[in-house]
Amino acid sequence: MRTPQGQSMGSGFVSFSSPERATRVVNEMNAKMVGSKPLYVAHAQGKEDRRARLQAQFAQLRTSSMNPPVV
């Protein structure tokens, strides 16, 4: 993706011919280093799906930090 001035925004989108190929690429390419930066590769998510997933993760973290394991 590029700005109106033609400068790279540092992100992009790719479409695959099958869900299996997309999953393979996510598994193989996520966190690979390109130069000095790691790639972030994930399946596309709608805004509401992403928000719900992040809220669930946050709630789980909050719950686990409030109840530390007893040793």
User: What is the pLDDT tens value at each position of the chain, 71 positions in all?
Assistant: 899 999 998 888 899 999 999 999 999 999 999 999 999 999 988 999 989 999 999 999 888 777 666 66
C-alpha torsion sign, points 13, 17, 19, 20: negative
pLDDT score, position 70? 66
pLDDT score, position 26? 96
* pTM beyond cutoff 0.75: no
| Contact between 52 and 45 (Cβ < 8 Å) | no
CB neighbour burial string for 17-33, b if at least 16 within 10 angstroms, e if fewer: eeeeebeeeeeeeeeee
SS percent in the chain: helix, strand, coil, step 5: 45, 10, 50
pLDDT score, position 12? 87
